Every structure is written in C-alpha cells, then in structure tokens.
Chain A
Amino acid sequence: MEGLCCGPGYASPSEAVKAPSEKLLYTIAIYTGTGIQKPDYLATVDVDPKSDSYSKVIHRLEMPGIGDELHHMGWNACSSCHDDNSMSRKYLIVPGVRSNNIYVVDTATNPKAPTLYKVIQGSEIKSKTNLSGPHTVHCLGSEIIISFLGDAKGEAPGGYLHLNKDFEILGRWENTMGDIPFSYDFWYQPRHNVMVSSEWAAPNTFMPGFDLEEVGHLKYGRRLHIWDFKKKKPIQTMYLGEDGLIPLEVKFLHNPNSSHGFCGAALSANVIHFWKSENGNWEWEKIIDIDNEPHSDWPIPIPGVMSALLVSMDDKYLYINNWLHGDMRQYNITDPHNPVLTGQVWMGGLLGKAPIVNGVKVAGGPQMYQLSLDGKRLYVTTSLFSTWDNQFYPEIRTKGGVMLMIDCDVENGGMKINKEFVINFGDEPNGPSRCHESRYPGGDCTSDIWL
C-alpha cells in the first residue's frame, strides 16, 4: 500500500488519495474503567468488503497489564520520510494515558495479527523526562515526538517526549514550554517552520472526570500556541477566550505549502480556523459555531462537545463530531474562511435522534474517526475517555462502544451511514469494551505530513 518511491508513505497528498483502498484497520479498545479486569487491546478490523470476515474484529492484541487506557496512537514513520529507503511504516506507537506506558506494536510482520515489539515503561519516562499523560504521536522524519499533558505528578503543562527511531528515549524534545499552561494535541507544517499545539488540561484535572466548575477556575485550556519548529520553542499565543473553551484536535491542511489549519474547541463546540498572515503573524477566526441544544433533563442546553476534527486528504472537506448531540458533520472548506455544511448524519447522542443504528443501540456518540485516503469511507467510534463516558453515557458500561462507517460523497458532498458495516464492541469475547482511535496500515488522514 506504500507509494512508488522507496520510503514509507506517498510523494504528495494527491498521490496518497490514489492509494489502494484500506483492507485492515487498527482500533484501540479499552477495559480500563469498565469494571472488566482485562487489559486494553489493539483490535484488527477487517474492512475489505470482499472478505468473509468483513466488518468483524479478526484479531486482538492484549497489552501486558490492566489500566493503561489506550487512547491515541501514531506511526513510527509517515510520508515525511518518503525519500528515506531505510525507513518503513512498520510500528504503531500506542501510549497508555493513565499508566504512562508506551507500547510499540509491529504491524508489518503479520498485518492481521500485530505483535508487541517493545514496551517503554511509564516509570522510565517519568524518571528520565518528568512527563506523564501521553497523547499525540507524530514522527519527525525518522524520529518521534509525543505530547504529554503533565509532569510526573500529573500537573500541567507537560511537554514533549523525544524518541529515536529505535524507540529509545532521547529526552525532552522542546527547548522550552514558554508560558504554555496546558498541552494536548499538535501538528506541524515544516515548510512554514511551524507547529501548533492545543490545550486540554492537567492529567490530574481531566483523568478523574469533568467538572464544569473547573473550567471557570481556569483548569481547562482556551489557547492555541504557535511554535518555531526548528528552535523548538513557542513564539505566539492565540487566546481564544469563550470561543475556544477546551481546544482539542489541531490539523493543518495536508498541502505542505498551506498555512491554514483548524482546531475544534470541544466545550464551545466551535471550529477555529488559523493561518499565517502576510506579515508573518498568525491569525485566527471562529468559522463554525454549533448551537447548544435544549434537553428536558438538563438545566442548561447541551453543548456539542466537538472532541475531534479531520481534514480529507484532498483538503476539500472538514469533518467534525458533536459527541453529546450525536451528529457527524461534513463541511466543504475550499474557502477555509467560509465553510459550507454539505453532510450530516446521526448516531447515538443525548438528543435521541438516532438511538439505534444498523440494529445496534448506540451508547455514546460519534467521537473518533478515521477517513480513507480517497475520502469515501469514514470509520467512526463512540467512546471518548473512560471517566467521561461514565459521566455522560453510563449505559456504555454494559453496552460497550460501536464502530460505524459513513459513506462520503467526495464529488458533491454528503454523508450516509453504510448499512452493511457495524461492529458492536458490546459483543467482545471478554465483555463490552470501548473503541476509540483507528489507523490504517498504509497511512491515514491523521498522520502523514510532507516535508
């Protein structure tokens, strides 16, 4: 599934769009916080429509112990080392948010049945770098950086772990965190020598669960940070205020020449668009504002909770979710200042618009998603984070998570839930688990960056 050249990935986003369709997908599934005393695991999902086991979990790689809370993950290599024939996209790096362990999984020797290649112990990371609460994994050419949300005691702002290509700890990546109060997601765009990072909260704040009062006490983020990528230091802060409460996922357009990017502010349920102006400063604007929705059981209208965001490989569409409302949306972002809503589907959520989808009662709402390189198939899962799930969707404990697939119209816009595809993680052999982030062996829309 790799491109024509020698290293991993593709020569350009337009080459990636033309790649063969995905046949396998890896998603993490958790038991942490569910009451089932089993390890979290990496599930291999068959997404080849010609296969007899299509739309099924065909392998489960259990982690060595319980309590990791696997969450996000990333590849050891992507298109950023496409011209390096010594590299290959072989290893998936899978951190445990709670345990601080990082698992390196070999997905290439047997793609259907990945194996554990190496464990970087959470205690080693704490002692060598004073970091805890790992989140986003990106490769930088042959090396790897991982954002951490806290220090070894779970206090903000955390920082960045730097690994070499053999997954040995080199230390902290950043030279300074400057005035940054919180960490979370990051994305970089090398041709502009820029990295943008966002803010969730300290592990000690978000791990036990969400309290609205802690937002008022400034325990949650509301800023984006612009970094000088080569100097490894923050150079500009964009204070988003009430428009940007809990700014989570950050994505640049895939076009490596573009400076336009987006961030989903989860609690404000807004999309923030940022870009480099002609004078070299970075600017931002709110381009999408999802209204809170009234609910008879709630004293105040329900916020969308826009917990993720994804840009199609051709940079034409932006996908967002509203985890508490229950909808996935597609916007045409040909003009990034003026997005146009082109598709919307419902699954689960608290508004009761689609409690049952493809015969499965959906506990939770659309939460994490991965788009095929050609932009036509969007795989969506429903669990956010064990403690937050337990607060907002307590029934997920017995029902488990769900993975659905949305057919996306890349020509005219539009979304439709595929009726043939559903995986009910409530039926897993060890009991109901919760699925979260997904990746494809051949690269995906949330990992590849071009130098």
Chain B
Amino acid sequence: MKKITIANRNNTTYEVKGSRPLLLELRALGLDLPYGCQYGGCITCAAKLIKGKVDQKSQVALNNRQINDGYVILCVARAKSNCTFDIGVESHDKLYRNPFIDPLAPHELKSDIATVREIKDD
C-alpha cells in the first residue's frame, strides 16, 4: 500500500494500492477531485506532485514544462511510492500560462514534438 498525503487538504492521508489510477482510488476513498476525459488527454484532473513517484506514461495532455513543474494527470497516473500532492485548481498556479507572453522553449513542448535540450559546457 502507498500513503497519499493531500497537502492542501490539511495533510489528509489515504492508503492506495497503486494498481489503478489515483483518480479512481482516491475518489473511491471519498476524496472529491475534478476530472474530465478520464483517459489522460484533457488536464482537468491535474494535481501537483510535491513528493513521491508516479507512473503517468499514458498521459498525453501535459507539455514538458508542466511535467517539470510536477504536474500529474490523476486519471491515468498510478502511485509508485508514498506521495504528497496539492490538488484542485489551487495547485494550478503554473499549469496555465499565457502562451504569447510566456512561450515554451523547444524542449518544453509536448513529448511528441519536443526537441532534445542541448547541454552546453560552461
């Protein structure tokens, strides 16, 4: 079993198996979470992972910057360790950005179109 802590819900904890998506496991335990498409394509259920590991390889909604900022698509992500999350729109401070004012670098795009970042020697 994995212990899931929801930091922005008074550090409430839940015990999940990690065998099913976190959205399903946590909702079954009574946590009210937003969701939309339920296949990893639409971002509505995104939460921010503060600590721990998840497997969300089937998500197709997040760009690489959002992944680097810790966002996790709960409708497809499975817990691989004990995890701490912020959930709901309060956790979306970096999820949504004006794409004209703050454009993505080529390596920050979604994985299917991102270019590999060049590592320069200092």
| Contacts from A to B (Cβ < 8 Å) | 32-35, 37, 66-69, 98-100, 132, 153-154, 203-204, 207-214, 217, 219, 297-300, 302, 386-387, 390-392, 394, 397
Contacts and interface: CB of A to CB of B under 8 A. Distances in A.
A410 to B, nearest CB: 37
B32 interface: yes
Contacts of A69: 36, 44
Contact of B44 (A33, A154, A211, A300): A33
B116 interface: no
Given A32-B36, A35-B90, A209-B43, 4 more contacts: A67-B34, A211-B104, A213-B99, A299-B101
B43 A208 contact: yes
Contact size range, B: 20 to 34
Q: Is the interface of B mostly helix, strand, loop or mixed?
A: loop
Contacts of B89: 33-35, 397
B109 interface: yes
B36 A213 contact: no
A98 B43 CA distance: 10
Contacts of B41: 153-154, 203-204, 207-208
Interface of B: 32, 34-39, 41-44, 60-63, 88-90, 92, 95-101, 103-104, 106, 109-110, 113
A297 B44 contact: no
28 contacts: A32-B34, A32-B36, A35-B34, A37-B32, A66-B34, A66-B35, A69-B44, A98-B37, A99-B38, A204-B61, A207-B37, A208-B43, A209-B43, A211-B99, A211-B109, A211-B110, A212-B99, A212-B100, A212-B103, A213-B99, A213-B103, A213-B113, A214-B109, A219-B113, A297-B101, A387-B42, A390-B95, A391-B97
Contacts of B88: 35
Secondary structure class of chain A's binding surface, majority of residues:
loop
A212 B103 CA distance: 7
B42 A98 contact: yes
A99 B36 contact: yes
Contact of B101 (A99, A217, A298): A298
Contacts of B36: 32-33, 67-69, 98-99, 207
A100 B37 contact: yes
Contacts of A153: 39, 41, 60
A212 B44 CA distance: 20
Nearest to B88: A35
A94 B90 CA distance: 29
A392 B43 CA distance: 16
A265 B117 CA distance: 33
B113 A214 contact: yes
Contacts of B62: 208
A363 B26 CA distance: 33
Contacts of A397: 89
B61 A208 contact: yes
A342 B17 CA distance: 64
A133 B37 CA distance: 9
Contacts of B113: 213-214, 217, 219
B99 A386 contact: no
